[in-house]
C-alpha cells in the first residue's frame, strides 16, 4: 500500500491517481470514499462537525487495502490512521504557501478553507500538522513548480530504493 499525505491542495488526489497508473495498480481516495457513502464534505462538516468527519475518514481508510491511496489532508491527525499508514509506504507532498495560494483561490469544496482568510488558515493548519507529515514520510517531495508527471517521476525511484 502506498499512501499520499500532505496539506490541502498539495496534489494527493491528482498525483496519487497518476502514480497508480505508473505502477499499474489501483487508486482510491479516502475523501471520495467518505463522500460516496455520506454526502459532500461541506455537508458532513455542517451537519455533524469535523470530529464526525474524522470518524468516517478512519472507517474509510481502514477499508482501502490495495494500491495507491490518497488521504485527506487531516487524516494523519488520528492515531489509528497513523498506525495504519505506518504499515504501508507513505509519500509526503510538501507545498509552499505561494503554491497553495494559486490552487485554493477558486475552490469551495474545503470547509476548513472557506472565507477570506483561507490562506492564513491553510498555513496555520499546515504548521500544526507538518511534524506529523515529516514523522510518517518514507518519501518526501516538494511539489512547487513541478508538473504531476515530474512529481511521479521523482517519487518512483525513491520507492524503488526503500
Ligand atoms: N503538480 C501540479 N501542478 C499544478 N496543479 C496541480 C498539481 N497537482 C495538483 N494540482 C491542482 O491543485 C488542486 C488540488 O489538487 P488535489 O485535489 O489533488 O489536492 P489534494 O492534496 O488531494 O487536496 P485535499 O487535501 O483537499 O484532498 C487541483 O485543482 C489540482 O488540479
Ligand atoms: O486538511 C483537512 O483537514 C481536510 C482536507 C481534505 O482532504 C478533506 O479531507 C477535508 O476537507 C479536510
Ligand atoms: Mg484530495
- What integer pLDDT is reported at residue 108 of this predicted model? 64
Q: Does residue 8 have its Cβ closer than 6 Å to ligand 2?
A: yes
Residues 25-34: pLDDT tens digits?
999 999 999 9
Q: Does residue 89 have its Cβ closer than 6 Å to ligand 1?
A: no
Question: Mapping DSSP to helix (H, G, I), strand (E, B) and coil, where does residue 55 land?
Answer: helix
Report yes or no on 31 lying in a domain: yes
Residues 79-117: pLDDT tens digits?
999 999 999 999 999 999 989 988 877 566 776 666 668
Cα(52)–Cα(155) distance, integer angstroms: 33
CA 90 to chain centre: 11
Which one, of 102, 27, 41, lies nearest residue 74 by Cα?
41
Report yes or no on 158 lying in a domain: no
Residues 38-66: pLDDT tens digits?
999 999 999 999 999 999 999 999 999 99
For the chain, what is the domain count?
A: 1
By most ligand atoms within 8 Å of CB, the mutation choice from 7, 10, 14, 28 for ligand 1 is 14
Q: Could you give the ipTM of this predicted complex?
A: 0.97
CB 84 within 8 A of CB 61: yes
Report yes or no on 105 lying in a domain: yes
- What integer pLDDT is reported at residue 103 of this predicted model? 85
Decide if pLDDT at 119 tops 90. no
- What integer pLDDT is reported at residue 106 of this predicted model? 59
CB 70 within 8 A of CB 4: yes
* Averaged pLDDT score across all residues of the chain: 94
Report yes or no on 161 lying in a domain: no
Residues 15-28: pLDDT tens digits?
999 999 999 999 99
What residues form DSSP beta bridges with 68?
A: 2, 27
Residue 61 region by backbone torsions, left for phi larger than 0, else alpha for psi between -120 and 50, else beta: alpha
Of residues 101 and 76, more confidently modeled: 76
Report yes or no on 104 lying in a domain: yes
Helix or strand (DSSP H, E) at 79: helix 79-86
Report the separation in Å between the CA atom of 13 and the middle of ligand 3, taken as the mean of its atom positions: 4
Domain holding 93: CATH number? Answer: 3.40.50.300
Report yes or no on 122 lying in a domain: yes
What is the domain range of residue 119? 2-152
Which one, of 131, 138, 125, 127, lies nearest residue 50 by Cα?
125
Q: Does residue 70 have its Cβ closer than 6 Å to ligand 1?
A: yes
- What integer pLDDT is reported at residue 104 of this predicted model? 78
Report yes or no on 157 lying in a domain: no
Q: Which residue has the cell 467518505?
A: 34
Q: Which residue has the cell 518519501?
A: 139
The 10 Å Cβ neighbour count of residue 157 is 9
Amino acid at each position: 500500500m502506498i499512501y499520499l499525505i500532505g496539506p490541502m491542495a498539495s496534489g494527493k488526489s491528482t498525483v496519487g491517481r497518476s502514480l497508480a497508473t505508473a505502477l499499474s495498480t489501483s487508486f482510491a481516495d479516502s475523501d471520495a470514499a467518505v463522500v460516496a457513502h455520506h454526502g459532500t464534505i461541506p455537508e458532513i462538516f455542517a451537519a455533524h462537525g469535523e470530529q464526525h468527519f474524522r470518524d468516517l475518514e478512519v472507517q474509510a481508510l481502514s477499508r482501502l487495502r490495495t494500491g495507491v491511496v490518497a488521504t485527506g489532508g487531516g487524516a494523519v491527525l488520528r492515531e489509528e490512521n497513523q498506525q495504519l499508514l505506518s504499515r504501508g509506504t507513505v509519500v509526503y507532498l510538501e507545498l509552499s504557501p505561494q503554491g497553495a495560494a494559486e490552487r485554493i483561490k477558486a475552490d469551495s469544496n474545503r470547509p476548513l478553507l472557506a472565507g477570506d482568510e483561507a490562506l492564513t488558515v491553510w498555513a496555520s493548519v499546515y504548521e500544526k500538522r507538518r511534524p506529523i507529515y515529516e514523522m510518517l514520510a518514507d518519501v518526501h517531495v516538494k511539489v512547487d513548480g513541478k508538473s504531476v508527471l515530474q512529481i511521479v517521476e521523482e517519487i518512483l525511484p525513491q520507492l524503488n530504493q526503500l
